[in-house]
Chains A and B, each alone.
Chain A
Amino acid sequence: MKKKEIESMLSTDVPFKASDSLKGRIMEKAVREEPAAVRARSWKWARWAMPVAAALALAVLVTVKPGVTPAIAAEKLFRTAAEYFNQRPVFSAKVEVRTLPQDNFGYTHPLKPYVDHTMTVDRENGVWRLEKSERAALYDGQYTWIWNPENGLGTKLDGTDQVGALELFVIFLDPAEILQDVALLDSVNPEARVRLSEKNGVITYAIDSPIQGDFSDKYMKYSSVFESDTRWTYTFDKASGRLLTFRIEGLFSGLRKTLFQVTDIDYEARVDSRLFEAPEEVDWLDRTAANRAMEASTLPYDAFRNIDAEQALLKGIDALQAWDVNGLKVFFGQYHLRTLEPLKGCRLVRHEKPFTSGQFPGVFIRCTLERADGKTEKRTFALRNDKGYGAWTVDGGL
């Protein structure tokens, strides 16, 4: 082949154009790095990256009555909305989240489709229920129950585990308190940016919050709303002050994507008390502290203590290969044996060094497993050893 032909293969006339918003994003970041005095005179660059509603919000701010700052206006707004919740102890909310149907309630990802959730709270009786197609959870006043309606497997936990089960949805347990806290956010977080606007009897309040956690390894970045750069937007009915909708958007490489949105709140919900009872048809794994303490004397926790995460992983995979039920009950203690059965007899082909990401208190280890049927699969196990008894256990990846 001639040199010119090769050179022609490697050239292209295809146009490559950066996104229209790239310049705005660059300028906005450059402006943010400047002291306030320079920023105040540079707001025109900030407008490029702000949606139209927020740009209008700037106009609202400059016409606010003298002495009434945005922080004061927001505080009043949230106090009214909080009071509305306080007077209505039972409510139900429809929520859309970009997630997987079977994953935990804190997992979000900008590339996943929306999954419908329903959250029902009875604050008078102190109970709640949250569900999506392949994961449900409830608190009956004593225990927390989490199950998969599709496969009929579930876990019984202590009442104190309800916050861990709910993850982000914990904001629904006491929305009044959360709303009151939000109003103060812009005064305590110097990196937060607030916008307030009004249109057609609806008040919109938006606050930008920067990413939290160390993401030198990006594995967990964007996997929860606390581990992304986010904008939280609330809309209120001006007449009654009630919260109408609530949205969390993440900023991912310059693109804004809604991760979590409350689309409807039924403040007059009538619910059957049976909604807050653990379903009988589920096969429950008892992981309450009392039951675990009973098991601790018979299970080999020592084998998974005082070693590093990699060593623990090797032992855990050995337990899978040999189907050592006691070892599995320690290392994979959160999981039903039925969930582990597809990996029965597997072997570890290779694994990488453990890494940390985001706010997870343990480590992640990427592995390739060969199953008993010869097929290989890649897994990333989340391991931690801070949940009691000092033994390493798997906290995700199955």
Chain B
Amino acid sequence: MQEETKQNRLQELEALVAREQDRLFRFAYLRVGSRADAEDIVQEVFLKLYRSEERLRRVRQMEHYLLRAVNNACRDFHRKRQYHLIPLDEAGPLPESEEDKLMHETYLRIGKVMENLPEEQAEVVRLKCTDGLKFREIASILDIPVATAKSRYRYAIAHLQQTIKK
């Protein structure tokens, strides 16, 4: 019986990965700028979920759950990197295809626009403009009130309007 449950969970995981992996990969890539790191993060999020032994189809609002998990993992990723100099020969990914080059250029372009924003504002802007989420969804992922999400967004746009003009 236990084996059957585990088989079912593996099947649920398979279906979930097939459905969500590209979206989560995109989400992670636009925050960490490397295919290898983004896939590591996505892989770890799925495996942590699987290890939690929840029946996956019973997790409510799975999409938000996963985005929140990936967002937190990306934050941890940056926090760990903050204190370590990267060996020069490892600085920056090596894009291997045209698609990867395009992805990386997009990451750099968007990052440049937001480089002077405080991180809590940049986070909301990314979720709204780059990921196309609604404020209600953003609030759920960041675990903040909707009003706070809207207010941070407003300040961020005002800031960008000033800085980009210059």
Interface residues of A in 1-60 (CB under 8 A from B): 1, 3, 6-7, 9-12, 14-19, 22-23, 25-27, 29-31, 33-34, 37-38, 41-42, 45
Inter-subunit contact A111/B94 (CB<8 Å): yes
Q: Nearest-CB distance from B152 to chain A (Å)? A: 14
Residue-wise interface mask of A (267-308) relative to B, using a CB-CB cutoff of 8 A (1 in contact, 0 not): 000000000000000000000000000000000000000000
Chain B residue nearest in CB terms to A34: B6
Inter-subunit contact B36/A14 (CB<8 Å): no
Contacts of B18 in A (CB 8 A): 23
Residue-wise interface mask of B (115-155) relative to A, using a CB-CB cutoff of 8 A (1 in contact, 0 not): 00000000001101110100000000000000000000000
Chain A residue nearest in CB terms to B18: A23
Asked if A264 lies at the interface with its beta carbon under 8 angstroms from chain B, I say no
Inter-subunit contact A33/B51 (CB<8 Å): yes
Inter-subunit contact B47/A254 (CB<8 Å): no
Q: Nearest-CB distance from B137 to chain A (Å)? A: 16
Contacts of B26 in A (CB 8 A): 16
Known: A30-B50, A41-B7, A45-B14. A18 touches B42 (CB 8 A): yes
Asked if A233 lies at the interface with its beta carbon under 8 angstroms from chain B, I say no
Residue-wise interface mask of B (1-21) relative to A, using a CB-CB cutoff of 8 A (1 in contact, 0 not): 001001100100110011001
Inter-subunit contact A9/B39 (CB<8 Å): no
Asked if A217 lies at the interface with its beta carbon under 8 angstroms from chain B, I say yes
Asked if A219 lies at the interface with its beta carbon under 8 angstroms from chain B, I say yes
Inter-subunit contact A378/B130 (CB<8 Å): no
Q: Measured between alpha carbons, how far is A93 from B115 in the docked complex, in Å?
A: 52
Asked if A61 lies at the interface with its beta carbon under 8 angstroms from chain B, I say no
Chain B residue nearest in CB terms to A27: B14
Inter-subunit contact A16/B25 (CB<8 Å): yes
Inter-subunit contact B165/A1 (CB<8 Å): yes
Inter-subunit contact B129/A11 (CB<8 Å): yes
Contacts of B42 in A (CB 8 A): 18, 22
Asked if A336 lies at the interface with its beta carbon under 8 angstroms from chain B, I say no
Known: A1-B161, A12-B110, A27-B13. A19 touches B39 (CB 8 A): yes
Chain A residues proximal to chain B, CB less than 8 Å: 1, 3, 6-7, 9-12, 14-19, 22-23, 25-27, 29-31, 33-34, 37-38, 41-42, 45, 109, 111, 217, 219, 252-255, 352, 366, 378, 380
26 contacts between A and B (CB under 8 A): A1-B161, A3-B161, A6-B113, A6-B161, A9-B113, A9-B164, A10-B113, A10-B114, A14-B103, A17-B22, A17-B25, A18-B42, A19-B35, A22-B17, A22-B21, A22-B43, A26-B13, A41-B7, A42-B7, A109-B89, A217-B84, A219-B84, A219-B87, A252-B36, A352-B84, A378-B85
